[in-house]
Amino acid sequence: HFLGHTTQLTYSEVMAEMIAISLSAKVAATLSRSPAADISSLVAVRSGISAAARDLELLRAFLRFADSRRGADALASAWVDQIRDVGFELEDAADEYAFLSGGGFVRACANFGAWLALARRLGKARARLRDLSDAKERYGIRPAEASASSSAPDGGSAAVVGRKLAEAAHFLQDGEIVGFAAHRRSLMKWLTEDLDSRRSLVAVCGMGGVGKTTLVTSVYKEVASSRHFDCAAWVSVSKNFTTDDLLRKIAKELHRDARAGMPDIDEMDYRSLVEALRGHLAKKRYLLLLDDVWDADAWYEIRNALVDDGTGSRIIITTRSQDVASLAASTRTIMLEPLPEQEAWSLFCNTTFREDANRECPHHLEHWALKILGRCCGLPLAIVSVGNLLALKDRTEFAWKNVHDSLDWNESSVRGIGQVSSILNLSIDDLPYHLKRCLLYCSIYPEDFLIKRKILIRLWIAEGYFEEKGQGTMEEIADDYLHQLVQRSLLQVTLKNEFGRAKRLCIHDLIRDLILQRSAKEGFTVFSKCQPTLESSKKIRHLILDRWASDHRPVPKMTLLRSFRAFKSDMDSSVLSGFRLLTVLNLWFVQIDKLPSSLTKLLNLRYLGIRSTLIEELPQDLGQLHNLQTLDTKWSRVQRLPPSIRKLDNLRHLIVFRRRSADFSSPFPGTAIEFPDGLQNLTCLQTLKYIEADEKMVKSLKSLKHMKSLELSGVHESNLIHLPSSISTMSGLLCLGIVSRDANVILDLEPFYPPPLKLQRLSLTGMLAKGCYILP
Closest CA to 306 of 457, 221, 201: 201
Residues 6+ apart with CB under 8 A from 699: 722, 726
Does residue 556 carry a pLDDT above 70? no
Residues 6+ apart with CB under 8 A from 26: 91, 94, 95, 464
For the segment 91-119, the average pLDDT, to the nearest whole number, is 71
Q: In terms of C-beta density within 10 A (0-12 exposed, 13-18 middle, 19 or more buried), how is residue 180 classed? A: buried
Number of H helices, E strands in the chain: 26, 24
Quote the pLDDT of residue 566: 54
Per-residue pLDDT of 458-490, as tens digits, reads 999 998 888 777 778 999 999 999 988 887 767
Share of the chain above pLDDT 90, in %: 26
- Report how far apart, in Å, the C-alpha atoms of 207 and of each of 165, 220, 416, 510, 701 are: 27, 20, 8, 11, 56
Quote the pLDDT of residue 147: 36
Which stretches of 534-621 are DSSP H helices? Answer: 557-569
Residues 6+ apart with CB under 8 A from 621: 597, 600, 642, 644
Q: Using 50, 70 and 90 to split pLDDT, how confident is the model at 698?
A: very high
φ, ψ of residue 483 in degrees (nearest 5): -60, -40
> In this predicted model, which residue has the larger pLDDT, 591 or 630?
630
Quote the pLDDT of residue 537: 45
Give the global pTM. Answer: 0.65
Lowest mean pLDDT among 77-81, 167-171, 594-598, 717-721: 167-171
Residues 6+ apart with CB under 8 A from 515: 428, 439, 440, 442, 443, 507
Q: In whole angstroms, what is the distance from residue 290 CA to residue 212 CA?
A: 11
For the segment 41-60, the average pLDDT, to the nearest whole number, is 64
Residues 6+ apart with CB under 8 A from 131: none
Residue 678, CA atoms < 13 Å, CB-side half-sphere: 11
Closest CA to 92 of 613, 494, 627: 627
φ, ψ of residue 195 in degrees (nearest 5): -90, 0
